[in-house]
Amino acid sequence: MQPDKITNASSDHESKAGDLSLRLPVFLLVLWAISLSFSSVSAASPPSSPSRSNSNQETPKKSSLSWDGAIRLALAKQPLLKIAQHEALESQAVVKQIESANYPQITGIYANSGGNTRVLANLGISGSLPKPVTTLTTPGLRVDLLITDFGHTAHKILSQKSLTASAEKAVLTTKALVILNTEQAYLNCLKQQRLVDIARQVLMERELIRQQAESYYRHQLRSKLDLDFASVEANRAELVLIKAQNDLRAAFAALNNAMGLQESAEYMLENLTLAVQPVPPLESLLKDALIKRPELLGSKDRIQAAEEASKAAKALNYGSITAIGTTGYTWWSGPEFSAKGSQTNPGNQLGWWGAGGTSAFPLYTGGRIEGQIEETGARKGEVEASTRSLTNDVVLQVTQAFLSRLTAKQQIEVAEEKVAHAREALTLARERYKVGLGSILDVTTAAADLLSAEVGLAESQYEYQASEAALAYATGTEFARY
């Protein structure tokens, strides 16, 4: 019986080995068939990526908008720039008002009086005559001329001209700020578009994984847990896509606001070429900023205006010399008689002229002039202090933009390498899952890592371009191109 048992055991072993040798090729054949059918389905009809909320809506036609076109549109439509321009025109008008004191002031006067009032030689009206006058009609001209006020008006003119120059620099400052805001909004739209593309690609990847898990589940090669997990990840990717699309709409709204438009339009934006260039030395950038920034130039003009205002206040101590000239023609309505009844004025008409001069200087003003001098001195000190504060802000802005650009440049290099590794890891995880050497968790984790790497690369690239725009603004070189 022992040999028979041994023979039967060996035969059973051989039969089991034969069954296993037959099952293994069949299992591999089934895997090959599933992968072949899955790849053919995915190649024939890739999964759709639009979100559910937009699947039944027609996409409106978008107008194209270039980088320079957006900036020029903002310079033409932005109300902040219009406000600054009108403030400069307002300051210019004030200069004309002050300059008018140096020219003769000619006034036409038509005076008509009656009763005990009369027309004076300066074409004013006075009363309390010892005798009534029926009517007195006098048309005429009056000329007032400031001969000298010892520099008060001249220094006021110079002060206001300096303020006008500062207002014009403020226009350039607003222009540079409008350009920066438009550039940053434009880059944000490009970044959000890139994030939408990444989210759409991730959704396609998750849909492929879900279809693969579903195919394996139908052939009873994977559990229902894999399919449920893949479906959850696909739904999560769809939510990410919906959020990215809404963020893109918000970015377009911010772009329209930066351009001064009251619209909610979306555009086909121009793709910018990313060119990572060597960063100039920080010292040269700071030197350019201190020379070219319009805010600093405007501060120098305000300091000059404060100095001239102080000189104008000091000139009030010397008074002024003025001249006046009048000419007129007077009609009486009837003859005038004395108390005894004799005629004293036939009541006809009379042409006349007159001239005179005045000199006035302050003896005591109760501290008014001294207070004006102190006010202008304090204003000068305030402007000088604000200029130093603004200079510190400019230095800080240039330094921050310089470091942001340097950091973004280094981040791009790291992010590109990270994306390459994440893409390779996803390919490997997918292949391992196909042959049964990996789990669905490995695939979804690799896909999430690739998404994070792609998003990090996109943010680094657009952060570099945004830092370039910020550096151009900080150094005062960008607005001169437009």
Domain residues for the domain of 18 are: 1-45
* Model pTM score: 0.76
- Residue 17 is predicted with a pLDDT of 40
Query: Is 110 in a helix, a strand, or coil?
Result: strand
Considering the domain boundaries, does residue 477 fall inside one?
Answer: yes
Question: Which residues are CB-contacts of 291 (< 8 A; sequence separation ≥ 6)?
Answer: 476
What DSSP character marks residue 151? Answer: T
| Distance of alpha carbon 328 from alpha carbon 62, whole angstroms | 73
Q: Which two tokens stand for residue 403?
A: 């470091």
- Position 86 in a domain: no
Query: Do 175 and 31 belong to one domain?
Result: no
With CA atoms as reference, report the closest residue to 47 among 241, 250, 253, 228.
241
Nearest of 202, 225, 201 to residue 213 by alpha carbon: 225
For residue 108, the cross-strand partners are: 141
The two three-digit tokens of residue 77, written as one number: 């439509």
Q: Could you tell me if 39 and 175 lie in one domain? A: no
The CA angle 207-208-209, to the nearest 5 degrees, is 90
Which residues, in sequence order, are CB contacts of 264 under 8 Å at separation 6+?
249, 252, 253, 256
Tell whether 65 is covered by a domain: no
Ramachandran angles phi, psi of 234, nearest 5°: -65, -40
Which phi and psi angles does 260 have, rounded to 5°? 80, 25
Of the candidates 183, 241, 191, the one whose C-alpha atom is nearest the C-alpha of residue 455 is 191
pLDDT of residue 72: 93
Is 374 within a domain?
Answer: no
The encoded tokens of residue 392 equal 């510190």
Q: Residue 274's Cα: distance from chain center in Å?
A: 23
Q: How far is residue 81's CA from residue 72's CA, in Å, rounded to a whole number?
A: 12
CATH code at 481?
1.20.1600.10
To which H or E segment does residue 145 belong?
strand 133-148
Q: Which residues pair with 65 in a beta bridge?
A: 269
Q: Are residues 395 and 263 in the same domain?
A: yes
Enumerate the β-bridge partners of residue 113.
Answer: 136
Residue 346 resides in a domain? no
What is the three-class DSSP state of 325?
strand
- The low-confidence residues of the chain, meaning pLDDT below 50, are 1-57
Q: For residue 132, what pLDDT is reported?
A: 65
Domain for residue 104, yes or no? no
Evaluate whether 325 touches 355 at the Cβ level (below 8 Å). yes
Q: In the chain, how many domains are there?
A: 2
Place of tokens 């944000």: 188
Distances (CA, A) of 418 to 111, 198, 423: 91, 15, 9
Amino acid symbol at 444: T
The verdict on residue 195 lying in a domain is yes
The pLDDT of residue 410: 86
**152 within domain boundaries:** no
Which helix (H) or strand (E) is 198 found in, with range?
Answer: helix 152-218
Query: CB within 8 A of 476, min separation 6: which ones?
Result: 176, 288, 289, 291, 292, 293, 294
Q: What is the pLDDT of residue 482?
A: 79
Compute the distance between CA of residue 280 and CA of residue 278 in angstroms, rounded to an integer. Answer: 6
Are 176 and 41 found together in one domain? no
Q: Are residues 181 and 35 in the same domain?
A: no
Instruction: Give me the pLDDT at residue 286, please.
Output: 93
pLDDT of residue 337: 65
> What is the secondary structure of 18-76 as a DSSP string?
HHHHHHHHHHHHHHHHHHHHHHHHHHHSPPP-S-GGGTTSPPPPPEEE-HHHHHHHHHH
